[in-house]
Every structure is written in structure tokens, then in C-alpha cells.
Structure 1
């Protein structure tokens, strides 16, 4: 096909050339006669017009040929296309026609997101202008031209599009504001969650502090409790212990600990470091150094690790100890700097084991020295609650020794002088060995320094005041009342365990005639303490199921009791007993009476008279343990059967 087209084009071009050649010959033949000046100018213009005409003729012929060629190609393609290609071509042509028509009316290809082929109304002419003929007749526009109608439709469509764009913009703005508000809310919630997390962490840390205080008061304190009391009582002035409590040096609480105790102590120290926000890190870090050294020694004793100090002879260890003796904290710190530089230099022939052993011992000595400095600085303001004990190198630490030295008689020196003398005496006592301490104590006993010295009234200064005590500062009765109060609180907490919403306290006693007690002259008779509960609930029998429902339930009835009677001071080891007695006032009730023996009187309660469930599966319980008599029972539930 292309070859035929090329041949036709070459043939037509050859034909045009021949025609042009003939025209030129005819022009030459006409112009062979003698031309005038006017004829020359006319011939020139005529030749130019002739050339333009030839050019446009050639252009028209080329366009016609191109059009004819395309038409033939199109017809050939139509003849060769398949039915599917033909259908697709017609649909594309139809869509292009519809798009052109919509653009002429001022509409886009889709109307509000819908097209003629895709819309929820099934309208194939959705984009065509709708003509409401009746409305036009009412408005007097029945004779309006289609162009004007299309213009009106275009204006309405443009207004709708503008309104739709405005709605979309408003929706986008609302979504943006909503997203911003959500982000602000999340940030606020995140910040609040962080605050809650910090409060929770702070609460747990404060609970660790409270646990230490409780263990100290109950005489079951751990090493961390003594150290915490040392910090809070002596450094912050809080009242954790009694006024007569005497503190040791802080490193003394870290001696003779087991491997597990050392690990627990390090974890507890980390808790207190976080609790105090780095306020006493210098104190706790030195304690950690001492505890790590103790843990290492315990691990060596257990055979878990090998001690690097074994590589150093005992003579060298003695030399190391002599190097440390008598040095201050600043001198030891300077020595540590030199030792670290020596190890990092890595000189030839350097005994690394010796220098590392020296460094480890030096750091422990620095920590102990620093703790003693802290102890001495605190002693100036808390001297009466302090005790400085310096153990010798060869003697095991005596952590349980507590000495309190009073100032001697004599002139009234100033406060600083008295404190200095007391610290000097304490250090003198701490430097003594066991034999010297025993001899000094025997000498003091013989001299009478362990007994108060009598002072006559005449020897007192005129401004002295004599105070005669009328009653002891802490009577024994107060201690007894405190212990009794604690036991009562423990009993009530034990009795309240497992109390549900359907239970209530039951404390209505029934008067009982008391027998004459033979032991009344010896012990004061008293009623026992108790904490009773009554269990109530609904009984869904046939009548209640018929007349009531969950929204309008029946009245509650008593379904059981739980009696907890407190007998902590029984003289006889016999367990208490209970007796069921009839009630004279009401036959629907009965009296339950509890009898335990001296020094407790009998106590009775008025309960509902029904048959009991005495199976443990049904909740029956009757035991006497730890001074508490418990009687729990439920009433039987009767079912109607034909």
C-alpha cells in the first residue's frame, strides 16, 4: 500500500512539472515581440502573481493528497480491524464527542465526580442540560433559544461547582483543625502520661523509703535501712529513730555481708540514688565501692572467682598497707592518679598484677577515708547520736559495739571544745584493742565512773535550777497500750479480708448474765473484741421469680454469718466454744453464745434461726488459730420439688 502511494505521489509530481514547463514556454512565446516599458512592468507583476498562484496550487494539491491518503489508510484500517477494536473505536469516538459537547457548555468531563457511564442514577445523559419545560412556561421562557438555555445551565452549574469547592475547602479545614486538635490532645495525654509515670516512679521510691522506716521500728532492719537512716536523720534532720539511738560509721554497716546481701544492697542503693536525685551521690558511690569489695571477697571465699591479690605476697601487701597509712583523702587521690598513669603507660617489665592490686586496694581506702570525712563533718552537728569506730587492720570489724561517752566533770568549756574532746575520747577508745578496752572498762568500774556522782546543793551555781520529775517520760502503760492497739489493728485487718459488697458488719450483742468469776481478783474481766459479718442476698424462689425481676428485685434476706472473736490472752489453752440458745422474744431468732474462759467474759449475738450448712464446700469454718476464733456458716437453701 505504501509503495502504491509513493508511486502515485511521484507520478503527480512529474505531471505538475510538465504543466509548469508548458506554461513557461507559452509565456516566452507571447513575450518574444518588442515589449514596451509598461508591458515590462505588467509582465513582471504578472510573473510574481503567477508564482504565488503556483505555490498555493501546489499546497492545496499536497493537502488534498494527504487527506486522500489518510482517508484511504483509515478505510483500510476499518476493513482490517476486529469487532472488539471496532467497538472500542466507536466508544472512544462517542466519549470524545460528549467531552466536546460538555466543554462547549462549560462543563468538565465529569459532573460532580460522575459521568454519563458512571453515576449512581443510571442516567446516560447526566451531563446534558436538563430542560424543565413546565417551569419555563410558568416563567414565560418557553420560547428561549437552546443557546440561552445552555448559558443558564452553565451559570447554575458554575454556581454549584463553586459551592461544592467551598464545601470541600470547609471540610478540609475542619479535618485539619480536627487533626491539629487530635495532635494537641495526644501531646497533652503524652505529657500527662509522662507525669503519671514520674509520679508512679516517685511513689514506688517513696514506698522503699517507708519500708526502711518500718523495718527500723520493727527491729528487722537491713543494711540499706541503717544507711538510709544515717542519711535522712544525720544529714537532713528527719526523725526516723529514737533520740538515744547511736549511729556507727557508714562503712561499718557494709561489713560481714553475704554475697546475696551485697547484691541486694547495691540494688537498694540505686533506688535511693534515684529517690534523692543525685543529692548524696558522693556518699552512695563510696558505699558502693566498699560493698563491691566485700562482694568480691565473699565471691573469692565461695570459690566463684579468683582473687587477683593472691598473686601478691603477704610482705608486699604489708608494704601496700604501710603506704596507705597516715595519708589524707587528697594524698590518696593524688596517689590514685599516679597509679592509673603508671598502668596506662604499659612500660616494659611492668608488674601489672601488682599495680592493679594496688589500685583496687587504693580505691577502697579512698572510699573509706571519704566516708570517715563525711562522718566527722556530720559529727559536729549530731555528736550525741554519733559513734566513730575505727577497726584495726588485723581485727575483724565489731559492728554491734555501741559506746556512748558523756563529757567529764570540770569547768564548763565552750561547745566546740566539748565536741572536740568527745571526738578525741571516742577515737582513743576505738584505737584500743580488746585487752586494753577490757582493762579500761574495769578501771572505770573501780573508779566509780559508771555510777552517777552525787552533787550537793551547796556546790551548785546560784542560777542553777533543780527540777524534780513527777512521772517518767515514757511510762510502761503507754507501751502496753501501743502494743495492744497494734494487735487490735492487725486483728481488724485480718478479719476484713475478703469482705464483699453483699456483706456488712454485725455487732449487735445480746445481754448475757455473767457468772461470778473466781479469777476476778487476779485479772480484770473484759469482753473480747470481735469483728462479725452478715451475708445477705436475694432468694429466687418460685414466688420471687414470678413477682420480681432484676430491675425490681425482691428484698434481701440473711444467708449466713461470719464471726471473728479475738482471744489473745487466754489463761487456759482450751479453744473457745459456742452454744445455740432459744430466743424468748421471737421464735424466728436464736442466741449464739461464745465462751472462752478467763480473762474473757461470755459474749452473745442474736441471729436468724435456720438450718446451717456444715460442709466445708458450702463455706463452713470453725477454727481457733493465732488467738482468733472463727465461725463461718451459711444457711441451707430449700428447693421446691414435686
Structure 2
């Protein structure tokens, strides 16, 4: 039985294996037919080639059929119709559609990433640009502050440049100079080198002051005037150089191109009395006329427009200067009444708008009559002690500390500053009345009136303190003079003397005319139109012009002969000077100018000295720093000192030291 069971088991196993082998062979046959059909029906590429595909497969065009998979699917009972070429094409299309969707999503993702990166880059660039602008602004502010600090240091040390005074007033500094004339007057009496120096200083502020529109406009206008004055000074020096050489002056140097000398004066008289708005209207009319092409002389109108641009800048500078004065006085108006004690008087004069309930207990205000005020003032013990006069005493009596304890002690510097502010306010209000009166004057007298007004504000102009350069005398502040320290007028005795002379002259003239019963005093003066005379500018105080040269050369002493040769020469040394100083308008023409040597305070070792030339009015003294060596006074050695035809000539050479054993 066991043997039969074992044989049956083996037979069933063999049958099962036989069936499986048949099924396998049938599946393999069917799989081969399906694979053959699939390879025949289409390719497995998805838009790629053997050369270009992301997989690096060089046999991508050959259809791959997974035979084992097909056999397994057939054995598992998969319908053969699902394994046909049509079904595979449908599945292939679905796969291609899925691949296209994946490609599209990947492209969109890459585009979105690129867009995000671009936006981030733009934001970073904007942030970097903003940071750079902020840093540049801070750097400009830093350089501007440093320029202000340098300017203030030069002002404190007494070596201020002309542009320092303008910058201090523009920034409304504590030491605001109310006596400073209009900014463009700083160019008066400047030489060509001075003009070039101040042009460089103005250009520095022009590049730094770009944050404040008013400051930028101020420096731009000042640069416009400076460039015009620089051309005028260069033309004048060229004319003087031609005059010294004895050459004829060309028409280009004598006047501006397109304008005759007489027309220049008429234009100056016409434009100097115009405001900024009127000059803008005039400039607009000239521009329209030039653009229309109807003007008969374009060169003339171009010259007029250039001159008009300069006057536009000057008018704008005047407006800015007045605005600065108004703002400075407005900022100081609250300090002056408080320091002078006027606030209490103002509150008392308000008529009790905000009256104190205890006002009835206050004493009545001081009497307005001067005699009553003096009597009330003399009633106090301290003042009565001060007013007591002792004819035998040579000085006032000394006050005790107890008497002065109730009084306020005013510092001399504070009192000086307060007095300057009060004078500045009075000058400013007086200048307003002057401008109102000037607007009613004829146009031809405006420039003369402005000059008189500036001399009124600055009486020491042209003859300022000794040692102040000519370009600073127009703006020099005279706080150190006795007039400002004491408040007294030093010219009081001169005025009394003039009054006495006038009375004496009137008495003598009355005797000469005799007695006439029917005579009456006649002092009705007919008003004439103001005009600028030819001698106005001729006798104003000014620095003389000059044309100088320095003679340099080599000293071939033993040391230089040993260490140098003609191919490698030694350093040059100063061997002499030639000075040509022009004094064409001297009042005392018979009195020749003089020169003298002075010690140079800045030279500690005494290697340099000061050569000062003095000629008398209307010329100021002029000085030069030269090498301090012994002169050769022999005519054969090149010495010359003469004054002829209004020119002071001083030529000299230095003595050469001869070293011998």
C-alpha cells in the first residue's frame, strides 16, 4: 500500500511538472510572438535619439521587450489582448503624456526659480544701491563737516580764506557776520592767482553741498560770478602785461566779444537795478528772440545773454543773502530782549492781557520824562554814592561788595556780543529802507547807490586793519577796535572841529557879502539825477597791480661740483628778483613810492623776510615774502630802483659767497 501511494504521488508530481512545462512552453511561445509583434509595431523612444538623450543610452532606438515579464503575465492569466501592440501603444502614449507633463512642470519650476532668483537679485541690487547711496551721502556729509571744521579752525586762528566767511554765513554759524556785503563782493580787488584759489574752494563746496537745494544754488551762482570775474581779471592782466611790454592792446582784450565798451556800461546800468524775476523775464525774451532767428545781430545778443546770466546769479545771491540775514535775526530776536530786560516792559505794555493778580502791589512804572527818570535814579543809595563828585579825587570812589551784591554782573564779552547783535538789527532794518528808496531811483544810479550802501555798512572797507589781506578787508570784522569795545565814537572831536570850521566859514562869508536888508537865505537845491562819475572808481582804495619775476640758477661751488654735473645739475636757488608795481592813479604823483624790509614772523631761522612797498593813496601797501640774503647794490650787478611813468621798478640780485682757504 505504501508503495502504491508513493507511486501515485510521484505520478501526480510528474503530471504536474509536465503540465507546468507545457504551460511554460506555451507561455514562452506566446511571449515570443507578443515580443515580436511589439518590436514590429513601434519604438520605445520618447522624443529622444541614440545620440541625444538624458540617459546616455546609445541603443535607445532599439525596442526592449521584457520576455520574462510577458511569460509571467501570461502564466498569471493576463489577457493576451492587453499585451498586443495596440494596447502597448496606448500605454506608450499615456507614458509620453505623463513625460510631457513632467517636462512642463519641470520647466515651470525652473522658470519660477529663475524668476525668484532674478527678483532676489533685483532686491539685493536695490538694497546694495540704497546702502551705497547712504554711504555716499554719509561720506559727503562727513567731507562737508570736515570742510566746516577746517573753515572754523582757520577763522579762529586768524588765517581765514574768503570762502570761509561765506560758508560760515551760509550755514548760519554762531559768529554770523552781518557786516559782510553781498557774496559776490568777495571777488573785488583779487588778483588772478587769488581768483583761481577761490574758484577751487568754491568748486569743493559745490561738489559737497548737494543735499541742500539752497546751498547748492548758492554755490552754483557764486561759481557763475567767479568764472565771469576770472575772465575779466585775466583780460585786465593781459592788458597790463601788454602795456608793460609796450605792445598794442588788441580789441579782444579791450572789451568782450560782441559788445562795445560803451554798450557794456549801458548794460551794467540796465541790469544792475533789476530784480531776479525781472532778469528772468528779460532772459526769456532774449531766448525767444534767438530761437526765432529774427534777431539782426546774434553775436551781440549772445554776449548780452552771457552777461545776463551773470546778473541773474548775482540777483539770486542777493536774495539768498537777505534771506540768511532775516533768518539769523529771527533766531536772535528772542535772545536780545531777554538779555536786555525788555520782556518785562513788553508784558507791561500789553495792557494786561495776561495780567498777574498781584499786579496791584507792583510799583508804578518809571516816568517817561528824562528829568524824572534821573531824579528817581539818583534817589537810590548806590547811584547816589556813584554820582557823588569829589573834585580832589582823581578816580571814582571804590564800591564795597555789599553795595554791588544786588546788581547783575555783565561779562565784557557777553556785553560786546549783545551790542553787536543790536547794531546788526539796526543795520538790517536801515538796509531795508535803503533798498526801498533805491527801487525808486533811476536805473543808471543803482550800482553807485549799492556801492555807497556797502561803504555805509562797512566804513573800514579798503582801509582796514593792518595785516589783513585785501580780499578780507571787505569782510573784516572790527570787534577789536575801541569803537566796538567802548561804544564811543572816536570821530567825535573831529565832528566838533568841523562844526566850528563851518561856523567860522559862514561868518567870514557873511562879512564878504555885506549886509542887505532885502536878502534872505537861499538853500533850495534842485535835485539832479544820480550819475556815476569817471573818477569814482579811480580813487577808491585798492591794491596795486604788479608784474614780478624771480631769478633762479645753479651755484657751482666745490660741493656741487663734486656731487653734480651738467647732466645731473644741483637744485636751483634764488639769485634775485624783479618787481614792477603799477601806480597809475597816485594822488601825489611827485612823491615816489618807497620800499622797506621787515622781519618775517613766520620764519624762525630768518631765511625769509618781508619786502613792503608803500606809495600813498589811493593804493594800499603791498608786501612779498622773499629770501633773506644780502643784496648787490651795484648797477653793474643788475640793481635798479626807479619810478617812471607810474611804474615802480626794483631789480636786485643777491651776493654770491666766495669761499677761499
Q: Specify the TM-score bucket, using the shorter chain as the normaliser.
A: 0.3 to 0.5
TM-score (norm 1): 0.39
Larger radius of gyration: 1
TM-score (norm 2): 0.38
